Amino acid sequence: MQGPAKISPLNEPYISLVHPVLPEAGESSMHSQLLRIIEQRSLTARFQPIVDMQNGDILGYEGLIRGPSDSPLHAPINLFKAAADHQLTVTVEHLCRKVVLEQFSAQKLPGKIFLNVSPESLIQRDTRYGETLDTVHQLGISPERVIIELTEYQPTHDYGLLCDAVMHYREMGFEIAIDDLGEGFSSLRLWSELKPDYVKIDMHFIQGIDHDPVKAQFVRSIQSIAEKSGTKVIAEGIETQAELIAVRDLGVACGQGYHIARPHPAPARMISAEVIKLLSSDHQLMFKRQAGGVEQMTAVEKILKTCPTVPSTMLNNQVDDIFLQNPRLQILPVVDNGIPVGIINRYHMIDRFARPYQRELYGKKSCKVFMDVHAVVVDKNTSMQDVSHIIIEANPDHLINGIIITDQGQYIGICTGPDLMREITQMQINAARYANPLTQLPGNVPINEHIDHLLQQQQNFSACYCDLDHFKPFNDVYGYRRGDDIIQMTSEILKQHCDPQLDFIGHIGGDDFIILFRSEDWEQRCQDILQNFAASIGDFYSNDDRERGGYLSEDRQGKKVFYPLVSLSLGVVKSRANKFYSHHQISIAASEAKKQAKKIHGNSLFIDRRSELDLIIS
């Protein structure tokens, strides 16, 4: 007697219609359609790009499937439900996989292809060996370009068997991804057991991440685990510009979603210039953070207010009645089918109606007569600063009328001019609290925030500690006002030789500064700073002291001491991935480099090159 069939994770099911499961009477039509789709292979693929969040390059495409357009099984959710109902899941999955691979190859798409595979299809009985690998070889696709993306629709109990199956695919050269991390039954355990090359964060945690600190912390935690396990994170469901920026700033490696590109039968081989610009505009975020931390990037949604709306078909008399019934109502947005088309100002309308015959002429006409069709409309994720710039460049009346706020083009509310000005003023006050009053450069709080932000993003940067030598005796002889002039001069020199779009300058206090260089030519910039400083410092001395190269002054014991001209010492430490984990560590290392620089006579640069010591004296 033959024993029970063994489940082999090393084999794959053969697509066959032999011995199909008999359907229930009420399901015969759906079952017939499903069998027809399988027999005729009437499926089409859609491809959605997955991009590198650092440079906008396309890593690869996720292969999605669609049934016949005239069938209720067109949507994948219906297709796979019908397959499950009739015990044809594995057969349908393998047909989908083959169709995706064929169309991916036919279009010669670049990068990798992500194939959706359910764990249960990897451990089914009655399977045939190596079908996916055979298809890949026949199509001329390298197995290293194929990622098996595990989608979890039901609990996975036999982790040992699944690990064996995954190991088999890895041995064939395929990579492994886990889909919908955070959504499935046991995705975190799957991550631990399978050690995938990629994990995809479920779109629930991505949508709205720009204003949800809990979701941001979840992604930050996943990113931290991924960094330690050598896994790349892919954020799914990025649908807005703000979500894209938030995901990028958390250091997530890859992204996917409608805001990047929608699934398409013939997808683009490059993403849009707009998205590339956003992904490469990290320097703009860094620069804005200089003024005083993340509040500088507050979105206008923070001051959104709900307000009654009227359609453009409403008569002016009706609008006037609404204003009369609501004495505190100053403006009325005009919205048609969710789309804002203008705004009506209370005082403008009352003024017009107060004139002779105006009510008789216009009372029974559409409110479009008194509507400002050039109202300012902004997305809810637009920053306060950007909105203020729009107002300044536009008609000043817009500040009185207020600003219409939308979400993906749909009206959601307004913000008033006074609220906008109040919020921006408060942000400026907060920024001023953390800026050095002498140079107006960011102080210690934003410096530390900026360092931590760069470390979280795993950005490479060089921290340059700048300190003036012999500055105190100069103050004693020439006076503190002249000393302030040197500090301000130093600040201006640092600004001249830093890229404001890449580099961050902070004023620690007194005569100490720090530069966080992301410019690749930072070493040359340091040399230029020293050269410029050496050429400028003589202007602060008398002719005699300048010619002598210094001056005599009493030390604390009353003895005459010769002090050289004030010089500048630069100590640099390079931060690379996983070398430092906090601004405290950077501060200690940069301070040590600065101490080494100060041991060198004159204007000097010391670069901490880890094992090698490299002293450059200007």
Taking each helix axis from N to C terminus, what angle separates 89-106 and 28-40, rounded to the nearest 10 degrees? 40
DSSP string across 497-520: TS-TTT-EEEEEETTEEEEEE-ST
Residue with more model confidence, 216 or 470: 470
Question: Which candidate, 142, 85, 134, 95, places its Cα nearest to that of 117?
Answer: 95
Distance in angstroms (rounded) separating the CA atoms of residues 87 and 81: 10
Distance in angstroms (rounded) separating the CA atoms of residues 590 and 588: 6
As a 3-state breakdown, the chain gives helix, strand, coil percent values, each rounded to 5, of 45, 25, 35
pLDDT score of 599 more than 90 = yes
What is the token pair recorded at 546? Answer: 């300048």
Question: Which candidate, 590, 569, 570, 568, places its Cα nearest to that of 451?
Answer: 590
pLDDT score of 10 more than 60 = no
- Pair 198, 231: CB distance under 8 Å: yes
Q: pLDDT-derived band of residue 126, with 50, 70 and 90 as boundaries?
A: very low
Residues in the chain: 618
- Residue bearing tokens 């030390």: 555
Q: State the CB neighbour count (10 A cutoff) for residue 453.
A: 21
Distance in angstroms (rounded) separating the CA atoms of residues 578 and 227: 9
Distance in angstroms (rounded) separating the CA atoms of residues 206 and 490: 44
Q: List b or e across 521-536, with b for residues whose CB sees 16 or more CB atoms inside 10 angstroms.
A: ebbebbbebbebbeee
- Residue bearing tokens 């009328």: 401
Distance in angstroms (rounded) separating the CA atoms of residues 518 and 463: 9
pLDDT digits (tens, 9 = 90+) for 142-188: 999 999 998 765 555 567 777 888 888 888 899 999 887 755 445 67
pLDDT digits (tens, 9 = 90+) for 452-508: 888 887 888 999 999 999 999 998 888 888 999 999 999 999 999 998 878 999 999
Range from 59-73, 75-89, 159-173 that averages highest in pLDDT: 59-73
Distance in angstroms (rounded) separating the CA atoms of residues 149 and 544: 77
pLDDT score of 290 more than 50 = no
- Give me the mean pLDDT over the 116-137 stretch: 73
Q: pLDDT-derived band of residue 341, with 50, 70 and 90 as boundaries?
A: very high
Distance in angstroms (rounded) separating the CA atoms of residues 269 and 266: 9
DSSP 372: B
Rg, C-alpha atoms of the chain: 33
pLDDT score of 612 more than 50 = no
Give Cα separations from 178 to 28, 91, 190 (angstroms).
Answer: 35, 21, 8
Q: pLDDT-derived band of residue 282, with 50, 70 and 90 as boundaries?
A: very low
User: What beta strand segments (E) does 426-503 contain?
Assistant: 461-469
Distance in angstroms (rounded) separating the CA atoms of residues 533 and 565: 11
3-state secondary structure of 467: strand
Q: How far is CA 463 from the centre of its chain?
A: 24
What is the token pair recorded at 551? Answer: 């001056």
Distance in angstroms (rounded) separating the CA atoms of residues 402 and 145: 52
Beta bridge partners of 514: 465, 506
What is the token pair recorded at 148? Answer: 């098996």
The burial class, CB within 10 Å (0-12 / 13-18 / 19+), for 590 is: buried
Range from 41-45, 123-127, 151-155, 455-459 that averages highest in pLDDT: 41-45
What is the token pair recorded at 484? Answer: 């302030």
Q: How far is CA 377 from the centre of its chain?
A: 24
- Pair 220, 199: CB distance under 8 Å: no
Q: pLDDT-derived band of residue 613, with 50, 70 and 90 as boundaries?
A: very low
Q: Which pTM was predicted? A: 0.47
Q: List b or e across 177-214, with b for residues whose CB sees 16 or more CB atoms inside 10 angstroms.
A: bbbbbbebeebeebbeebebbbbbbbbebbbebbbeee
Long-range CB contacts (within 8 A, 24+) of 411-415: 411/309, 411/333, 411/335, 411/338, 411/339, 411/340, 412/304, 412/380, 413/304, 413/305, 413/306, 413/307, 414/304, 414/305, 414/307, 414/331, 414/333, 415/300, 415/303, 415/304, 415/305, 415/387
What is the token pair recorded at 101? Answer: 């691979």
Predicted confidence at residue 90, as pLDDT, reads 83
- Pair 521, 514: CB distance under 8 Å: no
- Give me the mean pLDDT over the 271-300 stretch: 57
What is the token pair recorded at 429? Answer: 């006050």
- Pair 377, 340: CB distance under 8 Å: yes
pLDDT score of 14 more than 50 = no
Q: State the CB neighbour count (10 A cutoff) for residue 557.
A: 6
- Residue bearing tokens 């001056």: 551
Stretch (H or E) spanning 483: helix 480-496
pLDDT digits (tens, 9 = 90+) for 558-594: 788 899 999 999 999 999 767 788 888 999 999 999 9
- Residue bearing tokens 């500088």: 296
Give Cα separations from 69 to 92, 258, 414, 601 (angstroms).
Answer: 17, 21, 41, 79
**What's phi and psi for 79, nearest 5 deg?**
-60, -50
